[in-house]
Structure 1
Amino acid sequence: MEYADLFNQKPKYDCLLFDLDDTLYPLSSGLATAILQNLKDYMVEKLGIEPTKTDDLCNLLYKNYGTTLAGLRAIGYDFDYDEFHSFVHGRLPYENLKPDPILRNMLLSLPYRKLIFTNADKVHALKALRILGLEDCFEGIICFETLNPIHKNSVSDDEDDIYFIGSTSTTKPTTSNSANNSQIFDIINHFAQLNPSGILPKTPIVCKPSENAIQLALNIANINPQRTLFFEDSVRNIQAGKRLGLHTVLAVPDLWESDIKSEAVYTGNLAVETTVTA
């Protein structure tokens, strides 16, 4: 191959797909810990779940359904999604997040489409990106509302969907904030059995790490997985993305600290293996 051809080759990627929480900011911010505590408080205060069960319930729902919200809906709880997100994210210590000019400059220097793909709601995503100073670094945000739009049975071609954020209407599956105890599937007791049998109830929520959720996000944003690099802090989300053809980067959030990022300089090529730690 001629030496000049090295600079005329088509880039390997044309899109960078980023998770948000614990990927674009470090765990040391304390937001992850606060989210978990807020989830437990919501379960106790709004759904009437016994405090002694919240640890096991959060763990089992997250492992089996991707998010606690998705799991709670699966096992029988009905609640207002906006109220849930407001409770869980509305009281986070956002003051712990700081503008990140180094990451901002790094992102702006990369000549690729850049998108956010998060299970969180749009209010949280926009607020976190704004505080980090990254709100204009991304073409769009694929979030909870994007994958779970109300009053829509399919992806719309409406102009509002260009930003992938989804409906601005309040998401209210029911008017009830709880459920009859007899209708709740006891997932803790289910897994406490020596040999759990039976099929777990399905959730109406679309979210990572479901391959259906990832494929839907790719379709909405018109993304070619073979030419996309997917940054995630979750191994299972990475694995699901790989099964759909995405190239992946397992992002360790604490490595986004400034002293490490200051050594990262864009050189014109994005040389990353299929799965790496960044």
Structure 2
Amino acid sequence: MEKFEDRYRQAQMQKYECLLFDLDDTLYPLSSGIAKECRKNIEDYMVEKLGIDKSKIDDLCNLLYKNYGTTMAGLRAIGYDFDYDKYHSFVHGRLPYENIKPDPVLRSILLSLPYRKIIFTNADKIHAAKSLSRLGLEDCFEGIICFETLNPIHKNTVSDDEDDVEFVGSSSSTNTSTTTSSSSYEIFDIVGHFANSNPISALPKTPVVCKPQEQAIERALKMANVNPQRTMFFDDSVRNIQAGKRVGLHTVLVGTSQRVKGADYALESIHNIREALPELWEVELKSEVVYSGQVAVETSVTA
């Protein structure tokens, strides 16, 4: 009898316990145009609210995104201070959400997956809620880990989990209600920094916690109370996927069928999950078969 119980428990132990999903350009396609409009709104914010010369926007945005994960995190790192909620309202508030269409096929796939399912996005909670509502997926996830989850307060210093490096131009630890002119702060010239073939200073760190920082992923896993070795992470960003792999996650790159270093799987579309990852459903069949066998044994012994 003990032998059958051991086999039953072993079969019941799922390889995965949680599926962690990015949102933008992962649960809906890049072709929606949301990312393009979001980039435009960020550029407009930098010009209209932070007073940055329009001619410098392209180079600045590219460097901030490349080195800090998000343009917002980069802006805070180099010395700009602003209200987070107002930033998100400006950047996301004017997005064409009508471009995100209901996805009953994806909804059916998600509901059939026998695991905990959690959204993990760098976006703010309002954007996440609107996007999921447009997709018709708002009830498919246990919870959402978003910007506010990882950044509960407005910081002017690097996270306590990192080296204690003072944030450039810090003046207050509270979230200001009005946008502060960039002239009030010492702005780090990141464009000049990379133009110098032998820069003498290090890049300032950001107080914003976001992907692809390993710290952000580890914090999300801790909040969700999941084991990275039993968690599968879906994201459209190669950097995020590679960071996830470094902290022990099983990784799925979404948006291309070309698997890159750090990605265990690559999906052209999130809709390809069932074909590419049939193992996610096999646990149900395996459990049913072993369970029915155990019942038969117990019944015969009882008789």
Please indicate the TM-score interval, normalised by the length of the shorter structure: 0.7 to 0.9
Query: Matches of 2:107 and 2:277 in 1, distance apart?
Result: 12
Listed one character per residue, the Cα deviations across residues 143-177 of structure 1 (whole Å, up to 9, x for unaligned) are 000000028999xxxxxxxxxxxxxxxx8246443
Partner of 2:268: 255
Q: RMSD over aligned Cα, in angstroms?
A: 2.8
Query: Matches of 1:151 and 1:62 in 2, distance apart?
Result: 20
Q: Give 1:180 shift.
A: 1.8
Matched, 1:229 2:232: yes
Listed one character per residue, the Cα deviations across residues 208-260 of structure 1 (whole Å, up to 9, x for unaligned) are 111111111111111110100000111111111111111100111793387x6
Alignment counterpart, residue 84 of structure 2, candidates 81, 106, 115: 81
Alignment counterpart, residue 125 of structure 1, candidates 128, 131, 138: 128
Q: Give 1:202 shift.
A: 1.2
The structure-2 alpha-carbon separation of the partners of 1:228 and 1:262, relative to structure 1 and needing over 3 Å to count, comes to closer
Whether the 8 Å CA contact 1:70–1:204 is kept in 2: the answer is yes
Whether the 8 Å CA contact 1:235–1:250 is kept in 2: the answer is yes
Q: Give 1:193 shift.
A: 1.1
Q: Give 1:10 shift.
A: 1.9
- What percentage of residue pairs aligned between the two structures are identical? 68
Partner of 1:211: 214
TM superposition score normalised by structure 1: 0.83
User: Counterpart of 1:109 in structure 2: which amino acid?
Assistant: S
The structure-2 alpha-carbon separation of the partners of 1:123 and 1:26, relative to structure 1 and needing over 3 Å to count, comes to same
Listed one character per residue, the Cα deviations across residues 181-219 of structure 1 (whole Å, up to 9, x for unaligned) are 761111011111122332111111111111111111111
Matched, 1:109 2:109: no
Which protein shows a greater Rg?
2
The structure-2 alpha-carbon separation of the partners of 1:264 and 1:66, relative to structure 1 and needing over 3 Å to count, comes to closer
Q: Give 1:97 shift.
A: 0.6
Partner of 1:37: 40
SS of the equivalent of 1:116 reads strand
Listed one character per residue, the Cα deviations across residues 90-120 of structure 1 (whole Å, up to 9, x for unaligned) are 1111111100000000000000000000000
- Correspondence list, 1:90-239, <5 A: 90-150=93-153, 172-173=175-176, 175-180=178-183, 183-239=186-242
Unaligned runs of 5+ in 2: 161-173, 257-266, 284-303
Alignment counterpart, residue 282 of structure 2, candidates 259, 269, 273: 269
Unaligned runs of 5+ in 1: 155-170, 271-278
Alignment counterpart, residue 26 of structure 2, candidates 17, 23, 26: 23
Query: Matches of 1:111 and 1:36 in 2, distance apart?
Result: 36
Query: Quick check: which one's helix share is greater?
Result: 2
- The structure, 1 or 2, with the larger RCO (C-alpha pairs under 8 Å, 6+ apart) is 1
Query: Matches of 1:151 and 1:48 in 2, distance apart?
Result: 21
User: Counterpart of 2:100 in structure 1: which amino acid?
Assistant: L
Query: Matches of 2:273 and 2:204 in 1, distance apart?
Result: 43
Whether the 8 Å CA contact 1:19–1:116 is kept in 2: the answer is yes
Partner of 1:49: 52
Partner of 2:289: none
Q: Give 1:269 shift.
A: 2.4
SS of the equivalent of 2:268 reads helix
